[in-house]
Structure 1
């Protein structure tokens, strides 16, 4: 399958990209829109004179959300594993 060539605009700059599917294209465009909205929010809320600072703040927000989500998933998985182990012990006790 041929790669699709698209242009994504973030913070007023155009970035040419290649994607494999229209679904990837849609995801890239939606992500760029979210980033641009966040940039606009930061520029309105804070006295930021440099786009680099705004982009760094956006990157930090997205990365921290991802890490918090991972930690939450690990915690949930750990709790589920503990419950499975308890049930396994209970079943083993009744089978003996």
Structure 2
């Protein structure tokens, strides 16, 4: 059982106290830093003054990245799986002949 840690995460100038597994602490801290960096990027590049709009755009960008990775994974896995199945069949046929 993982040990629980109390941490404070800062996102968009707000502090969020969390109780998390020790194994999650580093990932959450890194994620909050990425969100803050993305917020600053949106604020610098676009005339957005409302934090909610900036946070919505951050959420959309992160969700789009996850979805794109899933699409790429599916696209790659299909042909790879087929090739591996063919190779496995060839090997099985070869071994059965011996």
Aligned match of 1:12: 13
Q: Distance in 2 between matches of 1:78 and 1:54?
A: 36
* Structure 1 unmatched runs, 5+: none
Question: Which deviations, in whole Å up to 9, do the C-alpha atoms of 1:7-58 show, x marking residues without a partner?
Answer: 101000111101111x311111111001000000000000001000000000
1:24 aligns with 2:24: yes
Shift of 1:93: 6.1
Aligned match of 1:83: 83
* Structure 2 unmatched runs, 5+: none
Q: Distance in 2 between matches of 1:24 and 1:92?
A: 44
Q: Distance in 1 between matches of 2:3 and 2:91?
A: 54
Shift of 1:86: 2.7
Q: TM (normalized to structure 2)?
A: 0.85
Question: Which deviations, in whole Å up to 9, do the C-alpha atoms of 1:62-91 show, x marking residues without a partner?
Answer: 000001001111111101111123334545
Q: TM (normalized to structure 1)?
A: 0.86
Q: How many residues align?
A: 95
Q: Distance in 2 between matches of 1:55 and 1:91?
A: 53
RMSD: 1.8
Aligned match of 1:58: 58
Aligned match of 1:39: 39
